[in-house]
């Protein structure tokens, strides 16, 4: 069983005064360092270089092999000195200000394979960065390395998987709904993915390993860009331009300022300024987003969900920033809080955007319904009856099954209107429509052709079946009065029934049924007149 113990202490250089290993060792010897229990260290943006001493004791009688995690991936210069008991010193260097070395493992940090000699030895780490210096020191056995790397890879896989799914989902919503919100939101999620792969070193390792300068400024620029995209999404989601035009202008100004400052810092290669701008702009922007949400609570539906979502990401971001800056003790959860926050934010926002989809869809269905149905009777209107009936007729012609059509017209309906008033006439029409709907089958089509003329298409019925059906309908109407203002009002109707024959078109079929209806009226009303097309033509 290999056992070893180690102790960590650290000190910081004076600003702009790099010291050598010898000087640093002397300072440690003089007791100028601070101890660390956990070995998890973090220092803020623009911190002077940090020296860490790790005193190791290997009590066994053989070398111990370990992987030492020294820092996160974005530390600019990371030197690891190993001092043996005999005074022999080895130095290995990495960091993202150099072309990528094999020690920089994306998603993990800067790691070194080390051998711990028998007895006592020392490691000294010198870390320097304009960005926050975060040193989560950890010795892993070579077996644990595999487990740890697999779980870290899996967590990033899940994070990017969920975010990419939400991104795609919003792009699809945008395609069908054509609302800018969705596309802004998709770009906002996309920028977080780029930002996260940037600061975790994936892009540096896989895309531009030989351009450390790009690595140094890229992430900082993406931090500002991500903030700007969050603001643009907020402006669009909350419709700030319409609700609070002054606020809209102020946010535009703030966006312009952010872009300008990071561009100036980048072009002049002022790394420290760029880091300060990026970290403060990102933090401030989440506060601006929450404030915008709060200002629109009473103006925009779902604004409270928006506030909840962006607060989650704000809280996560603050926790990560404060952990990186050494303001709160380093924990892995605290360090990854921004990722949890963004996940929560993405899910809540995806939910509220999908509610918008539901609202829009039900409005579309309503409009579709209004375009197809008669509002008084809920029967098909003339246009939709024609289009559906024509399709059915073509289908039945192809299949060779019979099909019939009935035209009905209420008897003396003018008298109903005159005697009881137009309102009661309307009630009568609704009453008739109810009877029709209760007596027809799923495949039958019933349309109101304006006024009190109603047309019924009966697929699969020949003239005889259709006439029997119509006769039953006539009787049912005759026998069923409707109540209005304490009165029982009786309604009757006359009908013309025709069966489709040969190559008749729908309007010809209606015309023939109308002729029969006219006969029914002429013969005394409240009756059904029917014939096949050939009989009618011969008549």
Ligand X SMILES: Nc1nc2c(ncn2[C@@H]2O[C@H](COP(=O)(O)OP(=O)(O)OP(=O)(O)O)[C@@H](O)[C@H]2O)c(=O)[nH]1
410 is an interface residue for ligand X by CB under 6 A: yes
Q: Write down the least CB distance from residue 497 to ligand X, Å.
A: 17
Tokens of 509: 């079929």
What ranges make up the beta strands (E) of 258-327? none
How many residues are given for the chain? 539
Tokens of 252: 């535009």
Q: Write down the least CB distance from residue 486 to ligand X, Å.
A: 19
Binding-site residue total for ligand X (CB under 6 A)? 16
409 is an interface residue for ligand X by CB under 6 A: yes
Q: What is the DSSP letter of 380?
A: B
C-alpha to C-alpha distance for 98 and 378, rounded to whole angstroms:
74
Applying CB under 6 A, which part among 160-168, 313-321, 410-418, 501-509 lies near ligand X?
410-418
Applying CB under 6 A, which part among 92-100, 310-318, 414-422, 526-534 lies near ligand X?
414-422
How buried is 418 (Cβ within 10 angstroms: 0-12 exposed, 13-18 middle, 19+ buried)? exposed
CA angle 295, 301, 304 (to 5 degrees): 55
Applying CB under 6 A, which part among 323-331, 413-421, 431-439, 469-477 lies near ligand X?
413-421
Q: Residue 72: which region, alpha, beta or left (left: phi > 0; alpha: psi -120 to 50)?
A: beta
How buried is 82 (Cβ within 10 angstroms: 0-12 exposed, 13-18 middle, 19+ buried)? buried
521 is an interface residue for ligand X by CB under 6 A: yes
Q: Write down the least CB distance from residue 292 to ligand X, Å.
A: 51
Q: Per-residue contact track with ligand X, 440 to 459, x per CB under 6 A?
A: -----------xx-------
- Scanning residues 362 to 381, which ones bind ligand X (CB under 6 A)? 376
Interface pick for ligand X out of 9, 149, 239, 426 (rule CB under 6 A):
426
Interface pick for ligand X out of 412, 472, 475, 522 (rule CB under 6 A):
412
Pick from 221, 56, 7, 66: which is nearest to 131 by CA? 221
Q: Of the two residues 242 and 475, which places its CB atom closer to ligand X in the complex?
A: 475
Q: Write down the least CB distance from residue 382 to ligand X, Å.
A: 13
Interface pick for ligand X out of 422, 441, 472, 522 (rule CB under 6 A):
422
Q: Write down the least CB distance from residue 364 to ligand X, Å.
A: 27
411 is an interface residue for ligand X by CB under 6 A: yes
Applying CB under 6 A, which part among 109-117, 168-176, 419-427, 529-537 lies near ligand X?
419-427
Q: Write down the least CB distance from residue 394 to ligand X, Å.
A: 31
C-alpha to C-alpha distance for 269 and 251, rounded to whole angstroms:
27
Q: Of the two residues 139 and 385, which places its CB atom closer to ligand X in the complex?
A: 385
88 is an interface residue for ligand X by CB under 6 A: no
Q: Of the two residues 411 and 499, which places its CB atom closer to ligand X in the complex?
A: 411
Q: Write down the least CB distance from residue 407 to ligand X, Å.
A: 12
Interface pick for ligand X out of 46, 132, 425, 447 (rule CB under 6 A):
425
Contact call for residues 24 and 51 (beta carbons, < 8 A): yes
Tokens of 489: 């009002």
Spell out the alpha helix ranges (H) of 43-86.
Answer: none
Residue found by looking up tokens 């994306």 in the block = 106
Q: Strand 453-459's sheet: what is its strand order?
A: 445-448, 453-459, 403-410, 493-499, 528-532
Contact call for residues 480 and 426 (beta carbons, < 8 A): no
528 is an interface residue for ligand X by CB under 6 A: no
Q: What is the DSSP letter of 373?
A: B
Q: Write down the least CB distance from residue 539 to ligand X, Å.
A: 21
Q: Write down the least CB distance from residue 450 to ligand X, Å.
A: 7
C-alpha to C-alpha distance for 242 and 289, rounded to whole angstroms:
17
A 10 A CB-CB count for 204 gives: 27
Interacting residues toward ligand X by CB under 6 A:
376, 409-414, 417, 422, 425-426, 429, 451-452, 521, 525
């Amino acid at each position: 069983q290999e056992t070893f113990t180690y102790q960590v202490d650290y000190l910081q250089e004076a600003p702009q005064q790099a010291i050598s290993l010898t000087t640093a060792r002397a300072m440690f010897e003089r007791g100028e360092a601070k101890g660390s229990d956990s070995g998890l260290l973090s220092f803020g943006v623009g911190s002077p270089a940090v020296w860490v001493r790790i005193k190791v004791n290997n009590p066994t009688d053989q070398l111990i092999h370990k992987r030492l995690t020294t820092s996160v991936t974005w530390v600019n210069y990371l030197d690891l000195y190993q001092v043996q008991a005999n005074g022999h010193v080895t130095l290995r260097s990495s960091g993202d200000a150099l072309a990528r070395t094999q020690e920089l493992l994306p998603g993990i940090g800067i790691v070194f394979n080390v051998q711990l000699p028998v007895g006592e030895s020392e490691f000294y780490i010198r870390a320097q960065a304009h960005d926050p210096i975060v040193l989560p020191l950890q010795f892993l056995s070579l077996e644990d390395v595999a487990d740890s790397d697999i779980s870290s890879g899996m967590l990033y896989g899940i994070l990017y998987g969920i975010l990419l799914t939400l991104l795609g989902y919003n792009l699809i919503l945008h395609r069908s709904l054509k609302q800018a919100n969705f596309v802004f939101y998709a770009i906002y999620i996309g920028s977080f993915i780029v930002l996260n792969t940037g600061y975790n070193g994936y892009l540096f390792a896989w895309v531009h390993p030989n351009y450390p300068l790009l690595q140094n400024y890229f992430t900082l620029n993406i931090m500002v860009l991500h903030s700007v995209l969050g603001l643009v999404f907020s402006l669009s989601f909350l419709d700030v331009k319409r609700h609070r035009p002054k606020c809209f202008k102020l946010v535009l100004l703030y966006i312009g300022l952010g872009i300008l400052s990071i561009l100036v810092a980048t072009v002049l290669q002022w790394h420290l300024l760029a880091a300060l701008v990026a970290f403060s702009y990102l933090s401030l922007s989440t506060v601006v987003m929450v404030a915008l949400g709060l200002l629109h609570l009473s103006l925009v539906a779902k604004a409270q969900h928006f506030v909840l979502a962006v607060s989650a990401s704000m809280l996560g971001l603050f926790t990560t920033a404060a952990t990186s800056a050494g303001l709160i003790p380093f924990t892995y959860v605290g360090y990854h809080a921004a990722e949890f926050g963004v996940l929560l934010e993405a899910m809540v926002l995806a939910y509220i955007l999908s509610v918008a989809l539901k609202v829009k869809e039900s409005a579309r269905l309503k409009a579709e319904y209004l375009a197809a149905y008669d509002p008084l009777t809920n029967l098909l209107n003339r246009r939709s009856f024609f289009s559906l009936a024509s399709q059915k007729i073509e289908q039945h012609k192809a299949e060779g099954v019979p099909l019939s059509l009935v035209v009905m017209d209420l008897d003396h309906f003018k008298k109903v209107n005159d005697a009881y008033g137009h309102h009661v006439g309307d009630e009568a029409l609704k009453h008739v429509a109810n009877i029709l709907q209760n007596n027809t089958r799923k495949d039958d089509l019933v349309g109101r052709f304006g006024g009190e003329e109603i047309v019924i298409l009966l697929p699969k019925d020949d003239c005889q079946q259709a006439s029997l059906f119509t006769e039953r309908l006539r009787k049912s109407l005759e026998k069923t009065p409707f109540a209005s203002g304490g009165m029982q009002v009786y309604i009757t109707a006359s009908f013309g029934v025709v069966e489709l024959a040969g190559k008749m078109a729908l309007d010809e079929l209606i015309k023939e049924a109308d002729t029969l209806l006219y006969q029914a009226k002429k013969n005394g009303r409240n009756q059904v007149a029917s014939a096949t097309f050939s009989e009618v033509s011969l008549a």
